[in-house]
Amino acid sequence: MTSLLWTDTRQLDALGASGPFRASRSVPVVGVDGTTLAHLSLVPKLYIKRNLDALRRAHPMPAQERAQCLAAAGELFLGEVDGVSLREHELAVCRASGVAMPVVRRASLSIAESARVAEESVQQARPAGAVNDWRSGAAAGTVWVRKGEVFAVLAPGNHPATHTIWLEALAMGYRVAVRPSRREPFTPHRLVSALRQSGFGTDQVVLLPTDHDVADVFVREADLAMVYGGDEVAARYGARADTLVQGPGRSKVLLADGNHEQHIGTVVDSVIGHGATACVNASAVFVNGDAAGVAAEIARSLSKIPVRPPEADDAVLPAFGIDQARALEKHLRSRLGDAKLVSGPDLVAELPGGGAVLRPAVVLLDRADAPQVNIELPFPCVWVAPWSLDVGVDPLRNTLTLTAITPDEALLSRLIEEPSIRNLHIGDQPTYLMRPGLPHDGHLAEFLMRSKTVMRDLPVVPEQLRPKDMPCLIAKTNNG
């Protein structure tokens, strides 16, 4: 059924402001089974700079048009783009990233939905006192404006739905440059193609695949940038006001209502939901009570998940190249120390067609402040530790999403107030849950927009009296 796609290896060109660009240099995009799925063009620094300049020179489209084009692009994404059907596309994503097919399919729907509601979702972040259009404001008030014009995204390849976020930047009128990951460039390539075919100019959104060593150019040359990565990336860019770091997730579950057995499902969902490769997947569970019993129960539940190739309709677990799978297991074992691996013994399950799946790992720790609670791996791996109120909130810090199952309102209030816990789910709400308008790391608009005070001595022009072609002053200042 798909043989045509794979015998004729796809070329993924850069999508620049002056059209597609096939570079002399390319890298193979290799599936977890070792086959080459496509060749990805790698553009040089000069090409990036010129494209970012072109984006800066371009004017944003009117807000309403942006919203319509985004919705159309979302719809197109679910159809055929550049001659590639959605099924073919999803198969490529699945084989490249190792993310299970059902998860990839849900991500496609989520991309389309996010595109449809991007504008609405952005509006959720607008300060209550600010207006979108200066003409609709009072004589003195604040107008919500872009902080810059060009937004660069150094995108990850762990999960296709990560690309839903930057769609909001387009809704805000930013011109966006996406640097795809080499691991899974199919999703952003298709998305940028779909956006262009749906009305976004080539100078509104570009796809610029590059080598690692020129990634810095994006951060330097764009007005604002978003980068994904671990501690190293966070340390490198964290201090920059013009860079939004999407760092480690270290999501956690706290079981502290005394009925642990009733919440095993929530823990398991938190570990494997979204394909177990996302920053919102739980990597630590704290138990006020019998941690060993809970760990055994989680392991038992997770062990029922079948080992399937990622493209299978009932796949759940992520797949990797065989060497990477072994390296991950080895790394985990090297970090165990006194901890006890409850699941196992064999974590790596080789797939008949090539590649391997990592079976879920559940590890029991003897104390809540063990250093391993911070280890986050790209497969279902969860550290279970005992916790009590005496230990306090310290071990729960530095968390993207914390699911807290406790009736203790004082504790919940402290967790809400704790700045390093970025999202709090209370009760049986797994860590991976998210949707447009309920962002998993704040609203992107908080980083990209600000309120500008506008005072004037002219009376407000009633809308019906305004000439149709009245130029938008905010857009006009972009000319410079």
Partner 1 sequence: MSKAVATADLDTDRNWTESEFISAAMEWHFSPATGSPFWLERAGSLEFDPRRDVRTHADLRLFPNVVNELREIPLEDLIPRGYHGQADVIGSYDSGGTTGAPKRVALLADWFERSLAWKSGRMDELGFPTGANWLTVAPSGPHIFGRLMAELPRMRGGIGFTVDLDPRWVRKCLSEGRAQEAERYAEHVVDQVASILIQQDIGVLVATPPLLERMTARDELIDAINTKVKVIMWGGAHMDPDTRYILQHEIFPNVALRGQYGSTMILGGSMERATSEPGDRSCVFDSFSPYTTFSVVDPVSHLDVAEGARGQVVMHHLSKSLLLPNNLERDMATRVAAPPGALGVSVADVAPVSMFEDSTVIEGVY
| Chain contacts with partner 1 (rule: CB under 8 A) | 18, 23-25, 43-47, 49-50, 211
Measured from the CB atom, the residue of 56 and 414 that comes closer to partner 1 is 56
Q: CB of residue 44 vs partner 1: minimum separation in angstroms? A: 4
Q: CB of residue 82 vs partner 1: minimum separation in angstroms? A: 22
Measured from the CB atom, the residue of 50 and 126 that comes closer to partner 1 is 50
Q: CB of residue 50 vs partner 1: minimum separation in angstroms? A: 7
Q: CB of residue 204 vs partner 1: minimum separation in angstroms? A: 20
Measured from the CB atom, the residue of 53 and 290 that comes closer to partner 1 is 53
Q: CB of residue 46 vs partner 1: minimum separation in angstroms? A: 5
Measured from the CB atom, the residue of 217 and 445 that comes closer to partner 1 is 217
Q: CB of residue 319 vs partner 1: minimum separation in angstroms? A: 25
Measured from the CB atom, the residue of 18 and 136 that comes closer to partner 1 is 18
HEC readout, the chain: CCHHHHHCCEEECEEECCEEECCCCEEEEECCCCCEEEEEECCCHHHHHHHHHHHHHCCCCCHHHHHHHHHHHHHHHCCCECCECHHHHHHHHHHHHCCCHHHHHHHHHHHHHHHHHHHHHHHCCCCCCEECCHHHCCCEEEEEEECCCEEEEECCCCCHHHHHCCHHHHHCCCEEEEECCCCCCHHHHHHHHHHHHCCCCCCCEEECCCCHHHHHHHHHHCCEEEEECCHHHHHHHCCCCCEEEECCCCEEEEECCCCHHHHHHHHHHHHHHHHCCCCCCEEEEEECCCHHHHHHHHHHHHHCCCCCCCCCCCCCCCEECHHHHHHHHHHHHHCCCCCEECCCCCCEEECCCCCEEECCEEEECCCCCCHHHHCCCCCCEEEEEECCCCCCCHHHCCEEEEEEECCCHHHHHHHHHCCCEEEEEECCCCCCCCECCECCCCCHHHHHEEEEEEECCCCCCCHHHCCCCCCCHHHHHHHC
Q: CB of residue 168 vs partner 1: minimum separation in angstroms? A: 30
Measured from the CB atom, the residue of 47 and 186 that comes closer to partner 1 is 47
Measured from the CB atom, the residue of 17 and 155 that comes closer to partner 1 is 17
Structure tokens at 426: 């209370």
Q: How far apart are CA 322 and CA 151, in angstroms?
A: 36
Q: Token match 């956006």: residue?
A: 195
Measured from the CB atom, the residue of 2 and 18 that comes closer to partner 1 is 18
Measured from the CB atom, the residue of 51 and 423 that comes closer to partner 1 is 51
Q: CB of residue 47 vs partner 1: minimum separation in angstroms? A: 6
Q: CB of residue 200 vs partner 1: minimum separation in angstroms? A: 22
